[in-house]
Each structure stands twice: as C-alpha cells, then as structure tokens.
Amino acid sequence: MRKVIVLSFVLIPFIGIRASKRNSWSVIDQKIDKVFDCSSKGKKTEILRLYDKGTYEHLLFETKGYNEQFVERNLGKYKIVKDKIIFEKPTQLEFKGQFQSGTYFYKNGKIYPNFWAYFLFKKNYLYKTTSKKEYRKPFFIHLDNDVVVNNFEAEDELDIDLLLSYLLKSIKSDQEKIDVITKFIVQSIEYDYEGLKLDHYANEQNDLKGILVGKQRLAVCAGYSYVFMELCEKSGIKARTVLGHTRQSHNDLKRLTGFHAWNIVGLGEKEMIYDVTWADNGTYIDQKWINVEPEVMIYSHYPLSKDDQLLKVSLSQEDFIKAPLILPLCKGAKLPGFKFSSYIFCDKMLTISFLGQHSVEVTKLPSDFQKVIYNGENYTYKTQGSNEKVAVKVNFHNDSTYLTIPLGEDINLFSIDIENCLNVKLIATKGGYQGMMRHYMANADNRYADPYIKGVVAAIRVKDYKKLKELAGINLSVFFDPKGKLKLDKKMLLRIDQWEGEISSLTNLNSFSYDSASNRSETKSSMFIEIPDGPRFILDNKDGIYSVSSIE
C-alpha cells in the first residue's frame, strides 16, 4: 500500500518576521559560477553557490522519511577583493549551518579561514569547489532526483515555466518532453486515498501548484490528469482530459462503474492515450498505461465522448457493458480479433477463440470474488481459495486459437493471459440463465446490497416467490398485493425477463425540501440499485440489514 504523506513545517525563531514578500526565487535566473560542498552527512547535504552577479545561495537539503524531502535556504551578497572573499550577512535566513558569513581567504577554487591557513596548511581548506552536476540544479529540485522539494515559499512563488525550462532543458523532441513530464508527475504526486475515502481532498484538483509543491502533494485521477494536461500545454504539446467509466475486475462486468479521468496527448497528427494515475506505481512508471492502443483501452476505459475513443468505429455503451474486460499487461499490447461477451452461457464446457496463434494461460477465481462490498458494509466473510490454474485444451486452426475450458461451478470467473501481454476477464455460467439465477438466489445476502438485489431479481425472473418472500422480509407489500399476487407492472416484468445479470452500483441520493410556513429545511437520504433501462430498487438499511422499501 502506498504511503500518504502529510508534510508539516516548523518555523524556527531566527527566521524572523517577513516585513515584505521575498522574491527569493529570482536568483535562479543568474548563472552559477562556483559550487562548494560544505557538508554531506547522512540524510543532510549543505552546499554554497556563488552566482555571477555577486549573489550567494546557501542551501541545506534534508530527507526526513519516505519521499519527505526539504530544503532550507539563505540568500546574501558577496564580493571578491584580491584574494579575499567577503560574504555579507544573509538578507534571507532560514537556517544556521556550517557556513557562516564573514571574510575568508580565496585561492584556486578553495576557501580558507585566512591567509596563514592557506600558506601553512594548503590541504586544510574549509570548502572546495565541486563539479557534481546535481549540485547545480535549481534549489527547489532535489539533489537525488527531479522531484520538487519542500520550502516555505514554494507554493506561493514557484514559476511553473521556470520549472519546465529546467526539466526540459536538454530535451528536443515532443515525445521526450511527454516522457519527462510523466516521470516528474509520478515521482512528485501521491494518490489521495484518504481524501477519496472521506470525499474531501487535500487539494483542489485544478490547483497545479498546490498538487505539485504544496504541503500535501496528493491528488486523485482528476488532479493527475489536470497536472499532466497543464504541463504538456505549457510545454507546447496538445493535451486534453478525458472523463469516463473504468473497470478493473470481474465485479465491474455488466455495469458502468468507476468514474475516472485520463488524458489524450497529441504528437503531430497522432493522438495517444495516457492514464498517468494508473501508471503511477509509487517509485516507477507502469508503462502498460502509457500510449495504450485505443483498441485495447476501450475494453477498460469508456469515455463520455465517443470522439475520445480514438477508434475508426466507436463502441456503444451497451456493447461496452456486454464486452469482456481486457487489460494490457505490457507496453504496446495489441488486441487479437475475438467474438465473445463478458458473460457466456454454456453447458459443461466453455469454447472461445482468438485470431492468430497464441500462448495462453487460464486461471479461475472463487465465485465469492463476484460479491461487491460497498463502503459502510460490514465485511465479515472470508473468500475461500485463491487463483487456480485451469487445464485448458488449446487447438490451432485456420490461423485461430481455440480454447476449451471445463466448467466446475454454476458461476466461473476466468482470467485469461494471452502472450503475457493481455489479460481477459469473463464469467462463464454453467446451465444457461437458470444456472446464473440459481447462483444469485443461493448467494443472496441482505447484509450486502449487490448480492441481495441480484437474489431479488433472480427470484422474480424464475418466479420463485417463496425465495422472494424470504428476501422481502417485512416489506412483502412492496412486491405482493393483499392476495399474495406479484404486483409489478408488465414493463418491469418484461425487462426482468430479459435480465442477463447487469446491475448498477449502489447509489446514494440526498433530497432537500423547504417548508416556508415553518421556515425549516429537511434533508432526506436514499439509496438504490437499478437494472439498466429497468426497475430501480430503493433500499432501506436497518442495523446493517437491507430491504427494498419501494420499486420505481
């Protein structure tokens, strides 16, 4: 699990009161003449820089923990008179270090306490010029990597254009620029898991400086995609944010889930798809989410705008919901031709095919993995078993690969790796729709909204009213009239008769009402799960147990 970083600053007394705003970042525009390594001990590095306009910069870099890197900075002026170098007291002082202002003897790129120290003990110099390239980085860039470090003034005064000019100083091609920007974002930003959980983020997702150099460098997908787009645009590269739905597991099949943001970036006439959020693997870039083939991306990322699919023939939302989940396992993964859906109904064997001859490996997950657990639900059950490798019969015929896979349970969650470059997730049901309905009814659990509603819909479809009454509990009147007859209208029943397992996520709604007579406002919360283009089941939850309060 990646660590969430909370950065805090303690202002020590000698910093003093800032009477006027310091413009201390401007020194970076000057040319560095000399750099002295004052001290390098453990996680602290103290250096002194001399600039060509008689300005010096005294820096202390410190690493305090995982990705918690700080810099403190003193600024002042100096002059050289014959063999003497005179440092004035800093006009800006953030720390006290080994180097102090005053007059020193300066000879051959070395600083001595005085002339006699130089004359008698030439090797006992205080500071010697260093040629280390990393010591010539702008002070807001860490010495060991190209990540912005923390400083008291960074968020207020960082010049993004100046930052980019450093990052891209020796870069000529647009592709290299995109690569450097991607690496910089992955190294600089952490995912805001806590903010996502609480629905209260550490930064506004369009706050470029706050996300990059603020006290908490955290963002969710909207922030990642915004930062990527802005840095590309400021570097002269066309980029835009894409909004849409994503899916990652068998639980996401047959539904629209995971509202997400990613990017399309232009390279000449070519447009490429980047998901920098999913590419952020903590310490490195997961290349499989960089420049993903549109034909592969569409099976895990469905954009709101069809133009953002980058396909010659766009995929409809209905076909996306029915399609299997396909994830790239390597950079540049290509999609073999296939014709099968995410849910396949068969007898005892599953047979599918791909164009071309491919090596494949099939694993099966326990059916319990299909149970969706929402926030706030008490997760008490334990999934039995783990991924199990399945013996598969593979045949090659007419430049196609045919797989024959035996079915064990009513519901079989298969994961198929193709050439170690693509992963296909699908569900095979033994015994057709009846097998799926049996499974949903047998696994209906009113402690969890998803399996509960699946069990309810399955009971209606197969007309198992005994099971439906059991699941309805005290709310029998929602489903049955006083004579015990099912009272759902024909339109609802027709849609349920066509149901193939697709279902929405649990949705929470807040409705507001105002009574002018009493001058009182009221907020009511409700939650529901619905079948696409079908009935909506309004849910109650009392003491951790769900029930259907109404059907719309």
CA distance 79 to 105: 12
CA distance 59 to 5: 23
Q: 253 and 176, same structural domain?
A: yes
Q: 277 and 194, same structural domain?
A: yes
Give pLDDT tens digits for 208-261: 888 887 777 888 999 999 999 999 999 999 999 999 999 999 888 888 888 999
Residue 471 in tokens: 């699941």
Residue 114: CB atoms within 10 Å: 11
Q: 355 and 321, same structural domain?
A: no
Question: If you average pLDDT over each of 86-100, 289-303, 366-380, 490-504, which comes out highest?
Answer: 289-303
Give the pLDDT score at 320: 94
CA distance 333 to 422: 7
Is residue 450 situated within a structural domain?
no
| pLDDT(117) > 50 | yes
Q: 318 and 184, same structural domain?
A: yes
Is residue 315 situated within a structural domain?
yes
Q: 390 and 496, same structural domain?
A: no
143-152, 249-258, 355-364: range with lowest mean pLDDT: 143-152
Q: How many domains does the chain have?
A: 4
114-123, 391-400, 540-549: range with lowest mean pLDDT: 114-123
CATH number of the domain bearing residue 62: 2.40.128.300
User: What end-to-end distance do the CA atoms of the chain give, in Å?
Assistant: 41
**85 three-class SS:** strand
Is residue 506 situated within a structural domain?
yes
- H/E segment holding residue 365: strand 360-365
Give the pLDDT score at 330: 95
Closest by Cα among 75, 50, 70, 49 to 60: 70
Which residues, in sequence order, are CB contacts of 176 under 8 Å at separation 6+? Answer: none
Residue 233 in tokens: 């645009």
Question: Could you write out the DSSP letters of every residue in 301-356?
Answer: EEESSGGGG--SSPPPHHHHHHSPEEEESSTT--PPPB---SEEEESSEEEEEEES
Q: 198 and 83, same structural domain?
A: no
How many whole angstroms from its chain centre is CA 116? Answer: 61
CATH number of the domain bearing residue 402: 2.60.40
Residue 342 in tokens: 């995410």
CA distance 425 to 413: 7
Give the pLDDT score at 29: 63
Q: 298 and 184, same structural domain?
A: yes
Q: Compute the average pLDDT of residues 431-459.
A: 91
Q: Which residue has the higher pLDDT, 520 or 128?
A: 128
> For residue 475, what are the domain limits?
466-551
Is residue 235 situated within a structural domain?
yes
Is residue 220 situated within a structural domain?
yes
Sheet holding 110-112, edge to edge: 32-41, 44-51, 55-65, 68-81, 84-87, 102-107, 110-112, 127-128
Q: 307 and 231, same structural domain?
A: yes
Is residue 18 situated within a structural domain?
no
102-106, 242-246, 485-489, 515-519: range with lowest mean pLDDT: 515-519
Q: 408 and 357, same structural domain?
A: yes
| Boundary (domain end) residue, out of 92, 122, 146 | 146
Is residue 478 situated within a structural domain?
yes
Q: Compute the average pLDDT of residues 148-167.
A: 76
Q: 410 and 348, same structural domain?
A: yes
Q: Compute the average pLDDT of residues 400-406.
A: 91
Closest by Cα among 259, 241, 246, 248 to 301: 246
CA distance 262 to 278: 9
Is residue 9 situated within a structural domain?
no
Contact 276, 185 (CB under 8 A): yes
CATH number of the domain bearing residue 255: 3.10.620.30
Give the pLDDT score at 508: 84
Give the pLDDT score at 1: 35
Residue 87 in tokens: 């440092």
Q: 309 and 174, same structural domain?
A: yes
Residue 156 in tokens: 């207020």
Give pLDDT tens digits for 418-427: 999 999 999 9
Contact 110, 103 (CB under 8 A): no
Closest by Cα among 549, 552, 543, 551 to 474: 549
Q: Which residue has the higher pLDDT, 202 or 205?
A: 205
Q: 267 and 318, same structural domain?
A: yes
Contact 451, 371 (CB under 8 A): yes
